[in-house]
Structure 1
Amino acid sequence: MSSSVHADFLSLFRERHSVRYFDASYKLNEQEIKDLLEIAGAAPSSWNLQHWKFIAFTEATAKEKLLPIANGQKQIVDASVTVAILGDLEANRNAETVYGPVIRSGLEDSYAGYASHQILFAQIEEAYAASESSSYRRDEAIRNASLAAMQLMLAAKAKGLDSGPMVGFDADAFVKAFNVPPRYVPVLLVAIGKAAKPARPTSRFPAEQTIIWNGFEPD
């Protein structure tokens, strides 16, 4: 890979900023949205269980329904699409679908480092069964879905689009309004489209302020 490609890739990270104001006249078509979400769905996930579902809000009536739930944030309706990223609390149920093709192919060395799919499945089920009353399922759902959300925003930037993540919404009201099954937990909303105004300038901590080398010092 050439150095220019590396530079372009790094500039994508630096140039992505959260946009609040979108050009309401700019529209993405269904295939363009599918392409973005396919890239988002290529994000890494624990055991490759792909702990996410996406609700794509494109119709005006659906956006207007979402608007008060999201505290009136106007980017909900002005963006070409607002995507709700949901985390899967029962991602263990995805194992058969994810690994079915590998099992049928007989590639016994392709089970995420496990000697067999039986061992892999047993560990997945053990982790989820032991966490019925713990935060594990929710933690896994949120952290893995968040990886997909970040990948979605970077994909949008790579395609010359802008995006803005939102966590300021009523999750319970969202679940009720859009008939979200108990299996899924709303994680965040991402508005995508063309910016009508530049993103507000922000600062970041310098690396030396955020890095702890080899652990904290004992008290």
Structure 2
Amino acid sequence: MQKTHTTIDQLIHERKSVRKYKENVVIPHEDLQTLLQKAITAPSSSNMQPWRFIVIEDHQVKKELRPIANNQEQVETSSAIIAVLGDLEMYKNTEKIYNTNFEKGYMSREIANFMIESSLSLYGNLPEEVMKNIVHFDAGLISMQIMLLAKDMGYDTVPMGGFDKVKFAEKFNLPQNEIPILLIAIGEAAAPAYGSSRLPLEQIVRYI
């Protein structure tokens, strides 16, 4: 597909939730790889990067996923589904993350050691419900980044939180520490998205 590069202001306003997709459009693997490689630059809590992904391209698997996702048409007709998962044990990568930060010169050995010690102590002892809140928050950050980057590459998307997460976890044999958070359909629009209004700013912002 022809790639376009636009300003962030254009991307924000042109990105819409598309639910009608051209069927049988294949997105090259290098495009999906590039998309996710850029997306993982998103910020996360203590740089723990708790996001994990399953990219579903196989038509039969998408067809089987459709009833799990409330029979949403785009699950089957889009080019791919990017399932955004959250790893509740993301802190187990703490040493790898901060040792790499040190090796790349991003921080001193002293700071890296401090971050390793404090992160393991903090995240390793948090209740599961708190960990779920953290990974959901971070998944939101990277999901928006995925959708804006996809638009910049010429693809359309729609985020879907309405799916049976228990059945999804069973279908894809997710380990206990990984929870499904969001499905993002990606492909080429077959019909324009609906416009959507926004509440007036004065109703939602308070300056103090």
Instruction: After TM superposition, give the deviation of residue 104 of structure 1 in Å.
Output: 4.0
| Structure 2 Cα separation of the partners of residues 134 and 185 of structure 1 | 11
SS for the counterpart of 2:158 is strand
Partner of residue 188, structure 1: 182
- Which deviates further from its counterpart, 119-128 or 181-190? 119-128
Scaled by the length of structure 2, what TM-score is found? Answer: 0.91
| Structure 1 Cα separation of the partners of residues 36 and 42 of structure 2 | 10
Counterpart selection for 1:136 from 125, 130, 134: 130
Give unpaired runs (5+ residues) of structure 1.
215-219
Scaled by the length of structure 1, what TM-score is found? Answer: 0.87
> Aligned pair 1:160/2:159, yes or no?
no
SS for the counterpart of 1:135 is helix
Amino acid at match of 1:122: E
Partner of residue 56, structure 1: 55
SS for the counterpart of 1:25 is coil
Give unpaired runs (5+ residues) of structure 2.
none
The Cα offsets for residues 8-61 of structure 1, whole Å up to 9 and x where unpaired, read as 220110111101111113210111111111122111111211110110000112
> Aligned pair 1:211/2:205, yes or no?
yes
Q: Provide the aligned length of Structure 1 versus Structure 2.
A: 204
Q: CA, structure 1 residues 186+94, in 2 after alignment: closer, same or farther (shift >3 Å)? A: same
Instruction: After TM superposition, give the deviation of residue 201 of structure 1 in Å.
Output: 1.4
Q: Greater CA radius of gyration, 1 or 2? A: 1
| Structure 2 Cα separation of the partners of residues 181 and 129 of structure 1 | 18
| Structure 2 Cα separation of the partners of residues 81 and 158 of structure 1 | 17
Amino acid at match of 1:119: F
Partner of residue 19, structure 1: 18
Partner of residue 39, structure 1: 38
Amino acid at match of 1:11: Q
| Structure 1 Cα separation of the partners of residues 96 and 180 of structure 2 | 23
Instruction: After TM superposition, give the deviation of residue 126 of structure 1 in Å.
Output: 2.1
Partner of residue 107, structure 2: 110
Instruction: After TM superposition, give the deviation of residue 66 of structure 1 in Å.
Output: 0.9
